[in-house]
A = this chain, B = another copy of it.
């Protein structure tokens, strides 16, 4: 039987606090090789506790949570940079798992989904290309040309998160250049030991090249050959599948951000209460600090209500009906996160920029929140288009 939502939430919160927070100093300050084995042990333990891949159906070993239920759990996990990984529900793996679950063939599920769910392998997703603005998915140069029973793939991808150590890459490639823009591409599974597949480098991001799961790869496909049976879904369905992935993906991301924002908020309040400016006068006696606290509380509250509202709408009516909400939360929550983390750093003073707290990691790792999965500007444009359509205007993006 399922635990009640609040029981589950409480269990997850305690686990994150008791097991993951203590690992963070090592994670922040040492090579991954040090903390990696302990993370793997925790992943195994979470699986044994039955809490792994919670958004997957129980038949596949998950908890069968609705999007709304998962959203709250995701907030708890997001309080640590290690949460989603340890619960095996981190992007891009979880997105690939859901893709294979809904659209993979039985053979694909047996070969790839099973070990992903079991945490025996990892995966990556090859979509963005350095030569093209990620915000315009129609501009795609990677091609997959059919040759007998194979696809021959050529192209260049980057920001393929977690590529290092991945067993497979789901790659978006043009299979029919002559088709309508949104019907040109397909999603194809490329085992990372396929000939012609190459991880060029881990892209240095915010001062680090990263390692393994915590990295972003640049990939080359040079006449990379894979069987046609590795295609997920119909030929030309690539964009449709990507689109489908986005709705729930946004809920995952934004609730994770809210978890981070809550963590930053907690650290900010703690610091405000403890750090004295003058004897007997902690920072919290200063109105400027109080207002950082108040504004953060109000903004996080607004953000959470918006995400839960969007999740409920997706659960109820499907992602298409919730497009409006999905665009909104992406840029709204990302900006709330950036502001809250910024304030928490400011309240910490010098300590805030050190790696003695997790704030500096949030600050660096999540500047990209306003960029990946579409920059703020694209989402504001999409929202404006929807809002202005009833007035007879078709906004061109």
Q: How far apart are A311's CB and chain B's nearest CB, in angstroms?
A: 13
Please, which residues of chain B bring their CB within 8 A of the CB of A331? 298
Q: How far is the CA of A159 from the CA of B349 in the complex (A)?
A: 11
Contact with B along A306-342 (1 / 0, CB 8 A): 1001000000000000000100100110000000000
- Stretch from A4-12, A231-239, A356-364 forming part of the interface with B: A356-364
Residues on B with C-beta less than 8 A from A391 are 269-270, 272-273, 284
Report yes or no: A355 in contact with B205, Cβ–Cβ below 8 A. Answer: yes
Q: Which of A2-35 contact B (CB under 8 A)?
A: 28-29
Least CB separation from A336: chain B residue? B302
Residues of B within 8 A of A287 (CB): 286-288, 377, 381
Q: A206-B207, A294-B383, A370-B346 are in contact. Are A393 and B273 (CB under 8 A)?
A: yes
The reply on A297 being an interface residue by CB < 8 A is yes
Q: Is A350 an interface residue (CB 8 A)?
A: yes
Any B CB within 8 A of the CB of A64: no
Q: A301: which B residues are within 8 A, CB to CB?
A: 306, 325, 328
- Given A204-B355, A205-B354, A298-B306, 15 additional A-B pairs, CB 8 A: A136-B277, A159-B350, A204-B356, A206-B206, A207-B355, A269-B388, A269-B391, A282-B393, A287-B288, A290-B384, A290-B385, A293-B388, A298-B331, A301-B328, A302-B303
